[in-house]
Structure 1
Amino acid sequence: MAPSAVTPPTVPTVKVVQGNDASTTHGSGDPSLAFIPDETTSPPTFADKHEERKYLKHRLALAFRIFAQFGFAEGVAGHITVRDPVDPTSFWVNPFGMHFSMIRDEDLIRVDHEGVVVDGGRNRRLNYAAYAIHAQIHTARPDVLCAAHSHTTHGRAMCATGRTLQPLTQDSCVFYNDHILYPNFAGVVLAAEEGKHIAAHLGPKKAALLGNHGLLTVGPSIEACVAWFVLLESCCEVQLLADASVGGRREELVVIGEEEARVTWEALGKGSGGYFMGLPLFQVAEKEFGERTELGRGLVPF
């Protein structure tokens, strides 16, 4: 009996969303209108560096409360650092072994770029991985005020795929050409040399998927760094769901066009946008301290 004829499978074509009007520079409008620059799109400035230190420490404590609210505390893993304005060769970080939801300003510890704890609360135990990664990033990137890393559920799953984010949604375009995959998992990062490799691989970008490990974001403000971390975890979840919905056949997903993704990054992906996007997260965290500020500027009565 002769074998049945087999019809060759049709090769799917990636669907690309293009702009509505090719004759205009930005079919969806001027990206500069997304966040019109004023004092609310950047952090407050301080003449007194010690006052700035006090402010940043409190914002960092709030950042840990945000991470706790989103379930980003995984055992003793994870750290957020802020460059100290008084001594920029040191940074503030969480004490090792303290849950994010309990951290207050006075619990934070200050670490120099040699890994020595020079100031801080009663628990001065240092997560050495925080030093190994963050000291190298703060050294290599003077533009980075804050860096965040944690072992989130969808971030870890995404980091196991060996892939970067596709521009599948408006939100994922915040990371368009602005994040990297660091594929070299060599165990717990306890060597400064490995931290140097991560910092070099990150280059000028805002985020990294650390292979078989977790997510990393950096920013010119605490608010931007935290907002980008929360968003990156969400984008990882969306991409994993989208992949699953088509059975892993990624060529069937609808991908945003390169120009549209670039323009969306122009509108949403810069530091000013990141700062403003982070403000609502900090407003919720302020409630845990019985506080309220007007867009991060000065306490106001409830």
Structure 2
Amino acid sequence: MMKESGSTTELDLALVHALQIQPRAAWTDLAPSLGVTAVTLARRWERLTGEGLAWLSAVPGPAFSRTRCSAFVLVKCRPAAREALAARIAGLDEAATVELTAPGGADLLLDVLARDMAGVHRFIDEHLARLPGVTAVECLFATSLYTEGSRWRLGSLDSAQLSALARPDRTDQGGERSRAALGDIDRELLEALAHDGRLGLAALAERLGTSAATVRRRLGGLTRSGTVAFRCDMARHLTGLPVSVTFRGRAPVRDANGLHRTLATLPGCRLVAAVTGGANLLATYWLPSIGAVQHHETAMHARLPSLEITDRVIGVRTVKRMGHLLDADGRRVATRPIQCW
């Protein structure tokens, strides 16, 4: 009998890990590595997504950081306004992620995505700063994004399974490697895949009113150019890593490249970015306990003596993660597709 992990089984966790590696692979391709039938995988995934425990969606790809603008915004507000303010900010398209943080510093941590710096400024000046309850805003522009959530792995597969799944996912690939500005069909395609990143070519073609061949060509161009990536995520409490911490640090510019490689190899890494401001590095980890925060900082100090940690932001609850609205248990309850392409 399979061991239960909360309301998930080991097979569920292995399935999520497999989809993080091969997000749009056919169930028949994943089944041999996971030791079950394709029908079983389809049924398990339907349950996970139906209950909001896991989801797979299109997100901005690696080209985004080269052509668009990412920023991390720390918001202070009146204590009584925290919950209502977080829910209101989650309704804004530019706020891709909204996290309530532990008292003592900032009250909210936002990931903001926009087409350019002016878009971030408009979001802050015209929307965020005018919301009732906001008392202060600090904006950190990402100058380099070394790793982010779509590259995070659950760690549920063994070495043999990882080896079997290591081949490149060529599903739906095709088309040109570089792209000009997105057309209407591209935007409709991205919106559909933001809700469900595993929609098949035929279903997408029907939604868009075009052919499956056109969808395949368009999607191939978007993925090969790095415009879009696919990300499989899960309610955090089911991962065994319930604690989220974002370290802010200061390091000499000459050490930045070496530092980011080391930071990304520490367990639980979700994000490493170079940012503007006095603290020029930002790194987020999902950890098994609050005690692990100190252990991580100790490891950083031992391996990266030139890095000075200046702040530790503990996430209490994620209200929105990369366009997906979450309940108090971290389950997906709705989607507001990212509009920054």
In which range does the TM-score fall when normalised by the shorter chain?
under 0.3
- The structure carrying a bigger strand percent of its residues is 2
Greater C-alpha radius of gyration? 1
Q: Which has the higher contact order (CA 8 A, sep 6+)?
A: 2
The TM-score, its normalising length taken from structure 2, stands at 0.26
